[in-house]
Amino acid sequence: MREIRVGLVGYGVAGAYFHAPLIQATPGLTLSAVVTRDPERQAEVGGRYGAAAVTDVRDLWERCDLVVVASPNRTHVSTATAALSHGLPVVVDKPLARTVAEGRELVRLARERGLMLTVFHNRRWDGDFRTLRRLVAEGRLGDVHRLESRFERWRPVPKGGWRERGGPEEVPGLLYDLGSHLVDQAVQLLGPVREVYCESDVRRAGVTGDDDTFIALTHESGARSHLWASSVAARLGPRFRVLGSTAAFVKHGMDVQEERLRAGMTPDSPGFGDDEEDRWGFLGTPGDQQLVRTDTGTYLDFYRGVAAALREGAPPPVDPESAVEVLAVLEAARRSAAERTVVQLT
């Protein structure tokens, strides 16, 4: 079978550092065209990938078999809708949409057209999260009572751009950015959510989007998730601290794959997803703990899953319904922060 031609919409951080290199490294996929208006990015697209650079999404429809939407949040729904309407399957970067209603409409349209729709929740393939899921599945922690999960950074000076300074239509801030990953991982690990509480603040001058956010979830199982996303953490907490009935798991340091993609390492390079030993986690109880090697991070598995869905009819790597479930939690979190209340989901 010929390779699946991929059209990529957007060549900012998400497009340039995540989607383009992952697409190019996935057998069966080829990056055919990229939508970008920036002359330097256009030159890079051609030089690095041999892909055509176009300035309008309407130039993609005849050039590709799959559309990947990695443009700003406000464009996700309109671009995905246009692609589906032209008979093309779609990958949408997180968040799928700005609202649950928009997300459900996209899922309905894809189902009506018989087309694949999936969402780039790549953090399901972080090495540390894969390790945690394995330990829980093996019963190594007993019954999990609490998940503590953090994406914290120290960026006291804003970088600018729509993620920090955009208006409400842009869906700026950490809640819908890193919060999408935090909530998705929590739901994948501990199941559906019944209650949501959120504290969301803007700490830095000149910023409109939240940059210091805490989310507390109560899952239907009774387990709780405490999730932090911050750009103003002068001292970083553990990436994971997970407390169970028989043991705890504690892990510091971020997954290595983003760092290596930003450094230009190709995702099919040997050792690409392997964590360094000084960042491995610990499992156990006080006075009795063991070092746990981090499972290999496998972002490539997302696009391998996309290729299998299109070629073999396999399920998409991320069920879009699960992305809508994440949006429901994020909507509840935003309401909770605004009203200073606990929001019931079920």
Q: Binning pLDDT at 50, 70 and 90, where does residue 256 land?
A: very high
Q: Domain spanning 123-301+328-344 has what CATH number?
A: 3.30.360.10
Is 160 a residue whose pLDDT tops 90?
A: no
pLDDT digits (tens, 9 = 90+) for 96-115: 999 999 999 999 999 999 99
Q: Give residue 214's pLDDT.
A: 98
Q: In the predicted model, what is the mean pLDDT of residues 143-150?
A: 98
The mean pLDDT value of the chain amounts to 96
Distance CA 49, CA 281 (A): 37
Summarised one tens digit per residue, pLDDT across range 276-313 is 999 999 999 999 999 999 999 999 999 999 999 999 99
Q: Exposed (0-12), middle (13-18) or buried (19+): which is 63, by Cβ within 10 Å?
A: middle
Q: What's the pLDDT score for residue 1?
A: 64
CATH 3.30.360.10 residue spans of the chain: 123-301+328-344
Question: Is-contact 215 182, C-beta < 8 A?
Answer: yes
274: three-class secondary structure by DSSP: coil
Distance of CA 297 to the CA centre of its chain: 14
What is 4-120's CATH number, 3.40.1670.10, 3.30.9.10, 3.50.50.60, 3.40.50.720? 3.40.50.720
The model's confidence at residue 222, banded by pLDDT at 50, 70 and 90, is very high
pLDDT at 105: 98
Flag whether the pTM goes above 0.75: yes
Q: How many CA atoms lie within 13 A of 201 on its CB side?
A: 10
Q: How confident is the model at residue 46 (pLDDT cuts 50, 70, 90)?
A: very high
> Alpha-carbon distance 187 to 156, whole Å?
30
Element (H, E) at 147: strand 144-152
What mean pLDDT comes out for the span 130-138? 98
- Arithmetic mean of pLDDT, 83-97: 98
Percent of residues, the chain, with pLDDT higher than 90: 97
Predicted local confidence at residue 346, as pLDDT: 76
As annotated, the residues of the chain forming the CATH 3.40.50.720 domain(s) are 4-120
Q: Where residue 261 falls among pLDDT bands split at 50, 70, 90?
A: very high
